[in-house]
Amino acid sequence: MAATRRPGRNHLFIPGPTNIPDRVLRAMHVPSEDHRSPDFPALVKPLFQDAKMVFGSEAGTIIFYPSSGTGIWESALANTLCRGDKVLTARYGQFSHLWVDMAQRLGLDVIVQDEAWGTGADPEKIGQALRADTEHKIKAVMVVHNETATGVTSDIGAVRKAIDAAGHPALLFVDGISSIGSLPFEMDAWKVDCAIAGSQKGFMLPAGLGVLCASAKAIKASEGTAGGNDRLGHVYFAWSDQLKQNPTGYFPYTPPLPLLYGLREALECIKEEGLQNVYHRHHVLAEATRQAVAAWGLKTCAKEPKWNSDTVTAILAPEGVDAAKIIKHAYDRYNLSLGAGLSQVAGKVFRIGHLGDLNELSLLGAIAGAEMAMIDCGVHVTPGSGVAAASSYLREHPLTRG
């Protein structure tokens, strides 16, 4: 869009939207179609089944919405909770903060456990809060699996254990927007009740299709009549309309056709690579990135290795250097799109997203670019050091598991 043409590709290393495989873009290039035709369910029905695989679920129910991830978040809350219901959540970054904000605006009574940015959900504290709630007033526990703002992954399995240990019946809601399809996710094993994903991250699609996986318990909650007119009244995001039509292969309103075709192809990509290989690849590329950060002598926002996210690395700029300047320069000079620091860490971090459809040399190009941008902005970094460290690691660790 710039006035003069920039040669070559943009190097997109934000934590989403992610790079879309060419074959997925091709699959989306389709004319309009009658979404009520007898042939339509042949496209739609397998999507519900195949998408579940990505959530690590066999028992769950998939619901798609023409929406961004924010809408799906709201759908999870609005279908299962009533105004004034108590929910428990932890906050440790911009996206966990936004979920708190949404819940409050919807009229829920939100118990917030604030954690240091750079750490994640504390299963111990969650367990405590639940045990203290002897009357079971807490209706849901909400956790952001991967906090995109800080590059921190929380341990959902441990949260589940804490809930079970407390013997508490609360629903477990997980924001998996920047994790599902990229990091191991075990909907069924972790007994997640609502898992939330967007098309533009691990699904390697443009934004525009929200994907939710709901447990039987969540769906049961959505059918409850107890709420009466205290229900959070929603129609577009009401599951009931979807659940009535989806089993026949149709939708209650016109679906975004290109995204359905794209999803079919993206799921095929995931199946061809193998979901475990996809996870492994994300881990290897993330670790290579962290090797580069270490070689630069810098620190990640994630305070301990256990918090490391395999989809995005937030890098702390050295004292006195404006991370926003590095980001702007990387874009202006090297056509490299990095993620900005948000809110508390604005100007302090820049983020490298390494999720979606990516391989070693693309990442090394980005690492080289980040390095160059830093040097140009006055950060003392040895030229080539990041690439040397990352590439040495990558030479030893193939993207595909033996």
Shortest separation between residue 265's beta carbon and a second copy, angstroms: 11
Q: Which residues pair with 353 in a beta bridge?
A: 312
In the bound state with a second copy, the residue whose beta carbon lies nearer, of 156 and 285, is: 285
CA 328 – CA 346 distance, rounded (Å): 13
71-130 residues in contact with a second copy (CB under 8 A) are: 71, 73-74, 83, 101-102, 105-107
Shortest separation between residue 184's beta carbon and a second copy, angstroms: 17
Question: x/- binding map, residues 382-401, to a second copy, per CB under 8 A?
Answer: xxxxxxxx-xx-xx--xxx-
276-335 residues in contact with a second copy (CB under 8 A) are: 278, 281, 328, 331-335
128-187 residues in contact with a second copy (CB under 8 A) are: none
For the record, the structure tokens of 183 come out as: 């990091």
Among 93, 118, 258, 341, binds a second copy (CB under 8 A): 258
Among 316, 357, 377, 379, binds a second copy (CB under 8 A): 357
For the record, the structure tokens of 288 come out as: 């290579």
For the record, the structure tokens of 213 come out as: 């996986």
Shortest separation between residue 188's beta carbon and a second copy, angstroms: 26
Select from 54-62, 121-129, 308-316, 356-364 the region that touches a second copy (CB under 8 A).
Answer: 356-364
In the bound state with a second copy, the residue whose beta carbon lies nearer, of 44 and 130, is: 44
Shortest separation between residue 288's beta carbon and a second copy, angstroms: 11
CA 94 – CA 203 distance, rounded (Å): 22
Select from 150-158, 219-227, 252-260, 311-319 the region that touches a second copy (CB under 8 A).
Answer: 252-260
For the record, the structure tokens of 191 come out as: 């007994």
Residue 17, interface with a second copy (CB under 8 A)? yes
203-242 residues in contact with a second copy (CB under 8 A) are: 206-209, 229, 232-238
Among 31, 305, 320, 402, binds a second copy (CB under 8 A): 31
In the bound state with a second copy, the residue whose beta carbon lies nearer, of 317 and 330, is: 330
Shortest separation between residue 310's beta carbon and a second copy, angstroms: 14
CA 122 to chain centre: 19
Q: Which residues pair with 146 in a beta bridge?
A: 153
Among 269, 298, 324, 346, binds a second copy (CB under 8 A): 269
Shortest separation between residue 42's beta carbon and a second copy, angstroms: 4
CA 305 to chain centre: 19
In the bound state with a second copy, the residue whose beta carbon lies nearer, of 22 and 135, is: 22
Q: Is 84 exposed, middle or buried (0-12, 13-18, 19+ CB in 10 A)?
A: exposed
CA 289 – CA 389 distance, rounded (Å): 9
Select from 111-119, 120-128, 302-310, 354-362 the region that touches a second copy (CB under 8 A).
Answer: 354-362
Does residue 337 sit in helix, strand or coil? strand
CA 268 – CA 24 distance, rounded (Å): 9
Which residue, chain included where needed, has tokens 């035709």? 37
Task: Give the CA distances from residue 300 to residues 57, 143, 296, 305, in Å, rounded to whole numbers and listed in that order.
Answer: 32, 22, 11, 9
Among 68, 113, 128, 245, binds a second copy (CB under 8 A): 68
CA atoms within 13 A on the CB side of 194: 33
Which residues have C-beta within 8 Å of that of residue 196, sequence separation ≥ 6? 69, 72, 73, 76, 173, 174, 175, 176, 177, 210, 211, 212
